Structure 1
Amino acid sequence: MSKKKSPQNHQSDSHPRLNDIHEIFHSNQPETTKSTTKIDDTNIIADIIREEREKRKWRLIIFASVFLSLCAIAALSGFLFFTAYNPFAEEKILLSIDGPDKIKVGEETIYNINYQNSGNIPINNTKLILTEPHGFNLIASTPEISGHSFDLGTLEPNERGSVEIIGDFIDNLEVPQVLSATIIFIPNNFNSEFSVTAEFNTALEPLPVTIQINAPPTTIAAQDTSIEITLTNDGLKPYKNFRLFLDHPETFTINQSDHDYYSENQTIYWDVDLLNPDQTINFKLTGRFASNFDYFTDQNQEQPFTVATALVGANDDNYRQTQEPFSITLTEEPITVSLVANGHSDTGAINFNDKLNLNLTFMNKSSDTINDLVLELSVSAKPLDILDWKKLENDNFAQLEKTDTGTNLTWRFNNVELLESLQPGKKASLDIGLPILPLDQINYTEISALENITITASAVLYYNENSTPVKSNSVALNVNSNLRLDVSAKYYNAEGTAIGQGPLPPLAGETTSYFVTLTLTNALHELNNLSIQSTLPPKVFWAEDFTVSAGEVKYTPIDRIVTWTINRLPVSAESASITFKVDLKPSANDVGKLLKLLEYTNIRATDTVTNDTITQTYGIITTNLESDQFGIGKGIVQSGFDPQ
C-alpha cells in the first residue's frame, strides 16, 4: 500500500507551526481509507485563534489587576500620609460661640464667635458664615457684616480673633433658636476648601409682663359682664410694639372697651405702644352672652377665655408670649357673687411677705330689687394658720368666728348699708386685707410644717330671706417661699475702716468708689433659676471688682445691667451674696445733690414647691448710704477743689 501524499496547497500556504501540527496529527492516525482521513484545516485554525484570544484575555486581566492594585496602594498611602501628617486638618481650626443660654423675647443680647488657627501654616481666603437663629434680628456687628458672612482673609499660624453680633429676638417661645457659624478656608499651598462649624442654642423666655384678670366667675345671659385685664412690666426695660389678645367664646359679644381694639373672629386685641418698667395698664371691657343661650343644654358649663401678650413682627406677625386662661360660668341666678384673691379667681400663688387681698363683688342680674343681703366669707390656711387676724384691714363690722376649718367673716344688711338693698343691674363690693405673719411670729415646731401651705377662700350670699345661698367661686393660693433680698452700699466696713476710695462726701470731677452688696435669704422652699438684675445710673461705672458666694455675675456695658444668676438655691444654703465695686464721678451740675448708685433691683426665681415664679422689686440705692453707720449722711456732692 502506498502512502498518501498531503496536498501541495497546504504545505505551501500554511504556517510552519500548522505544518508541524499537521504532521503530528497524521502520524497519530491509523491508516484508513481515503474517505476517513481527510483533515478539516479550517477547524484547526479556529482552535488556534480561540487559544490565542484566551491567552490575550488573561494577560489583560492580570495587567489590569496589577494596575488597580498599585493605584489602591498609592491612594491608601496618600490617605495615611495626609491623615497622619496633614498640617491643615480641620481640627487645627478652633471655632466656638459665647452667648446667652436664655434670653427674654425683645431684649438685646450679644454673641461672640471666637476663632483661632492653631496649626503651623497659614490659611487663606478665610470666610466666616453665619446662619442666624430663627427669630434673631441683627442690630449691629463688629466688624461690620456683609450679608451673612465676614471676610477674614488670611489667618497666620496661632492667629486668633472674634466677631461680635448684637441683636434681639422676636419669635414664638417654642421655636428652637440655634446660631450656626461656619469657617471656610483654603490651607496654604493647597487648592481644596475645608470647613469647620459650631452651633449655640438659646432658649427664649417670655416678656416679663404679668397679666392679672378680674372677671366674674358666674354670669347670666343677655346681661352686661365686665372683664378687667391688668398688664404690669416687671422688667428693667421698656417694651414697645406689642399686643394684648383676648380669645372669647363664640356666644360672647364685646360691647365696649376703654381702649380702642380690633376684632378678628373670636379674638379681640389692643395695640400697646409702650410699657415702661413698673408701669401698669388697665383694660376694661363689657360684653354679654347671647340671649338665646340654652340653659338646659349649657347651664353651668364653663365658657373659656384666654388672655395673651404678643410681640409684633416686621410683617405684622403676632408672636404670642404669656397666656392666661380663665372661664365664666353661666347660671340662672338673679344675683351673682365673685371672689378675687390677689388677682386670682381660681388658683395662684402668694409670696410669703405679701398681704392677702380679698375682693367680694356681687351684682343684681335681675329686673327686681334684691333686699336683705347677708355675705359670708370663709378663709383658711392649711396645715398651719399664718394669717395675722389681729391686723385685719377694712373689716366693715364683720363678725369673726373661728371654726375647725378656718375663720368665717359675716356681714349683715343691718350692719352694712350696701347690703340693705341692691337695685337691678347694680353691683357692690367689699375689700379686706390680711397680712401674713412674720416668720419669727409663727408658732411652729419644725420648718417643714411651713413647706406646703395653701390659703383657700370662698363666699356665699343670702338674699330676700332665701334659705339657699348663692355660692361664689373658690380661690386657692399656694404660699411661696420667704425669699428676700437686701441691697446696701457702703464706704466703711463694720469696724469703721474705709473700704471705698476717693473723697467722701463725693466731690464734683473726682471719683469715689463704693461697694454694693446684694444678699439673698430663703428658708422655706428650694428655688431654681434665680435672676437678680439692676442697672447702673449714667455716672456710675462698673469697676470689674466683685466677689460672689454662689452663681455667676455678668455686666453688659451696652445697657449697663448687672446680672447675677444662680441655678439652684437649696434651703440648706440659707443665704447667698455678691459684693461689687462701683465708681462714681459727679459733675459740677451734681453739686448739692444725692446721686443714685443703683437703680431698682428686680429678682425672679422659680419656687420648686409651688412651681410659681416669684418676682420682687427693690428700691434705688443712693450716696446717702443708709446701711453704712459711718458713712450715712455723707452723700451730698460737694464742689471740687478750684485752684483759682
Structure 2
Amino acid sequence: MNLFAAPYRGLKEGYEKRYTQAKKLFIVDLILLGIIGFLIGLDIYLVMSRPGDTFFGRMFGPETKNEIVAGEQEATSEVAASDVLVKIKINGQEEIHLTPGESLEYAVSFKNNGEKSVYDVALKINLEGALLDFGKIAVGNGAARDRSVVWTKDQVPQFAELLPGANGELKFKIETAKIADPALALKFGGILKSWPEVSYKKQSNFGTSVHWTGKARENKFNSDLAVRAVARYYTSEGDQLGRGPLPPAVGKETKYWVFLSLENNLNDLSNVSVSALLPPNVFWTENVSVSLGELTYNPSRRAVTWKIGEVGRYTGEDWPTEGAAFELALTPNFEQQGKEATLLEQIKAFGDDKFTSQFIERFLPNLTTNLVYDSLAKDKSKVVAR
C-alpha cells in the first residue's frame, strides 16, 4: 500500500495545484469581461448622448476644433457649432462708432440652441480698449474680473441647467475716458474689442467642459481730440504778460494773453481747426504767436480761427505745449461790475477722423477773467469800479 500511496499523493497535489491556478485565472477572466462589458455599455451611452465623443472616438477618432464667432456661432463641416449662442450689443446697436467719454451699456443675449440641456454654463465677456475705465464699471449680477465680466450659475441660477430653447439677457455698463492714456493709445489704438468665452457640460455630473472662445467684435472709437484754452496775465514763471489794471476796472483796458493747445492720441485727423468768438467789449490787438498752423481773425464776425490741418495720432512724441497764442483787450462796462467778464466764447475744435470717417467736434466752456491756471492772478477776476 505504501508503494502506491506516494505516487497517488503526488498526482493529487499536482491536480489540486493546477485546479487552484485555473480557478484564479477564471476569476480574473470574469473581472476582465465585466470591465469590457462596462466600457461597451458606457460607449453606447456616450454614442446616444454625444456622438463622436466616445471612448473609442477619443482614442482613435480625428481631433475637432470648435469656435464661436462674436455675435453668433458659425458652423462648417469641420467646426461644430456651440449649443449656446451668444450675441453682443453696445448701446442697443450691433454696429456703432463710439465717442470718448460716453457710457457703454452692453446687452449680452444667450440661448441654448441645442436639443438637450447643458449644465454648469459659464459666460465671460472680455474687453480691450484704450478708453475703457475699469474703475467705473457696473456689472449688475455679474462678477468683474481682469478686463472682463463673468457670469456662472452662482450669479445666474438658470446656468446650473440651461434647458433647450432657454434664453436670457445680461447687462453691464462701463464708462469711457474723454482722453486716452498715451501708453494705452499706443497699445490699443482707436479700437474697442469685445469677445465672448463660453463653457458648459453636456452631462450634469459627468464629462469634461466644452469651451469656446469667440472672435473679437471690433468697434471704432472716434479720436479723443481735445483743445485747451488758457488765459493768463502772468506766465507760470511769474513774468508779466498782461497790461492794465488787475483786477479789471470799469472803463479801463486790461490786456490778457490766450494760449491754445491740442491733444490727440487715438486716430489721425484732417481739416482740424479751433474757432471762438470775441464778446462785444473784447478787442483783437493783432499780437499773436503761432508755432503750429495758421491763426486768423475775422472782424465782421468777431471770430478767431486757428487752422491746423493734419493732426496725427500719438506716436510717442509730445505735441507742443502751446500751438497758438494771441492777445485780447478787455474794457469792462458798468453792467459787468462785481462779475467775472467773458474773454472768449463759443470755443470749439473740429475736424475729420480718418479712421472712422466721422466729423468730430469738441466744445469748451467760455474763457473768463477767472484765470484758473494763473496763481498770481488769484482773487483778481471780478470787475471793480474805476
- Interval of TM-score (by shorter of Structure 1 and Structure 2): 0.5 to 0.7
Q: Which has the higher contact order (CA 8 A, sep 6+)?
A: 2
CA displacement 1:317-344 (0-9 Å, x = unmatched) = xxxxxxxxxxxxxxxxxx9965115x85
RMSD between aligned alpha carbons?
Answer: 5.0
Say whether 1:340 aligns with 2:90. yes
**What residue is the counterpart of 1:530 in the other structure?**
272
Say whether 1:409 aligns with 2:149. yes
- Equivalent residues in 2 for 1:312-323 (5 A)? none
Say whether 1:593 aligns with 2:339. yes
**Residue type of the partner of 1:598?**
L
Contact 2:254 2:330 in 1 (8 A): yes
Q: How far does residue 627 in structure 1 lie from its aligned partner after superposition?
A: 1.1
- Equivalent residues in 2 for 1:443-454 (5 A)? 449-450=186-187, 452=189, 454=191
Contact 1:337 1:460 in 2 (8 A): no
Taking the aligned partners of 2:150 and 2:99, their CA distance within structure 1 comes to 24
Quick one: percent identity of the two aligned structures?
24
1:537 counterpart SS class: coil
1:547 aligned residue (270, 289, 301)? 289
- Equivalent residues in 2 for 1:5-20 (5 A)? none
Closer, same or farther in 2 for the Cα pair 1:337/1:521, shift >3 Å?
A: closer
1:574 counterpart SS class: coil
Contact 1:355 1:433 in 2 (8 A): no
Taking the aligned partners of 2:131 and 2:93, their CA distance within structure 1 comes to 18
Say whether 1:399 aligns with 2:136. no
Higher strand proportion: 1
Say whether 1:512 aligns with 2:249. no
Q: How far does residue 441 in structure 1 lie from its aligned partner after superposition?
A: 6.3
Q: How far does residue 377 in structure 1 lie from its aligned partner after superposition?
A: 5.0
1:432 aligned residue (148, 156, 173)? 173
1:503 counterpart SS class: coil
The count of corresponding residues between Structure 1 and Structure 2 is 292
Taking the aligned partners of 2:274 and 2:339, their CA distance within structure 1 comes to 28
Query: Structure 1 unaligned runs (5+)?
Result: 1-216, 219-334, 365-371, 421-426
Contact 1:339 1:473 in 2 (8 A): no
Say whether 1:561 aligns with 2:310. no
Contact 1:387 1:435 in 2 (8 A): yes
Contact 1:491 1:514 in 2 (8 A): yes
Q: How far does residue 614 in structure 1 lie from its aligned partner after superposition?
A: 3.9
Closer, same or farther in 2 for the Cα pair 1:491/1:410, shift >3 Å?
A: same
CA displacement 1:291-321 (0-9 Å, x = unmatched) = xxxxxxxxxxxxxxxxxxxxxxxxxxxxxxx
1:505 counterpart SS class: coil
**What residue is the counterpart of 2:192 in the other structure?**
455
Contact 2:250 2:331 in 1 (8 A): yes
**What residue is the counterpart of 1:633 in the other structure?**
379
Q: How far does residue 489 in structure 1 lie from its aligned partner after superposition?
A: 0.1
Taking the aligned partners of 2:272 and 2:234, their CA distance within structure 1 comes to 29
**Residue type of the partner of 1:450?**
K
**Residue type of the partner of 2:90?**
V
Closer, same or farther in 2 for the Cα pair 1:557/1:429, shift >3 Å?
A: farther
Contact 2:133 2:174 in 1 (8 A): no
**What residue is the counterpart of 2:352 in the other structure?**
606
CA displacement 1:207-252 (0-9 Å, x = unmatched) = xxxxxxxxxx99xxxxxxxxxxxxxxxxxxxxxxxxxxxxxxxxxx
Query: Between Structure 1 and Structure 2, whose CA radius of gyration is higher?
Result: 1
**What residue is the counterpart of 2:48 in the other structure?**
none
1:489 aligned residue (220, 231, 235)? 231
CA displacement 1:4-56 (0-9 Å, x = unmatched) = xxxxxxxxxxxxxxxxxxxxxxxxxxxxxxxxxxxxxxxxxxxxxxxxxxxxx
**What residue is the counterpart of 1:379 in the other structure?**
126
Contact 1:347 1:475 in 2 (8 A): no
Contact 1:451 1:525 in 2 (8 A): no
Closer, same or farther in 2 for the Cα pair 1:413/1:588, shift >3 Å?
A: farther
Closer, same or farther in 2 for the Cα pair 1:375/1:560, shift >3 Å?
A: farther
Say whether 1:574 aligns with 2:332. no
- Equivalent residues in 2 for 1:95-174 (5 A)? none
1:562 counterpart SS class: strand
Contact 1:452 1:478 in 2 (8 A): no
1:393 counterpart SS class: strand
Closer, same or farther in 2 for the Cα pair 1:513/1:377, shift >3 Å?
A: farther
Closer, same or farther in 2 for the Cα pair 1:507/1:417, shift >3 Å?
A: farther
Closer, same or farther in 2 for the Cα pair 1:418/1:499, shift >3 Å?
A: farther
Query: Structure 2 unaligned runs (5+)?
Result: 1-70, 73-84, 112-118, 161-167, 204-208
Taking the aligned partners of 2:300 and 2:109, their CA distance within structure 1 comes to 51
**What residue is the counterpart of 2:20 in the other structure?**
none
**Residue type of the partner of 2:126?**
V
Closer, same or farther in 2 for the Cα pair 1:413/1:555, shift >3 Å?
A: farther
Q: How far does residue 577 in structure 1 lie from its aligned partner after superposition?
A: 1.0
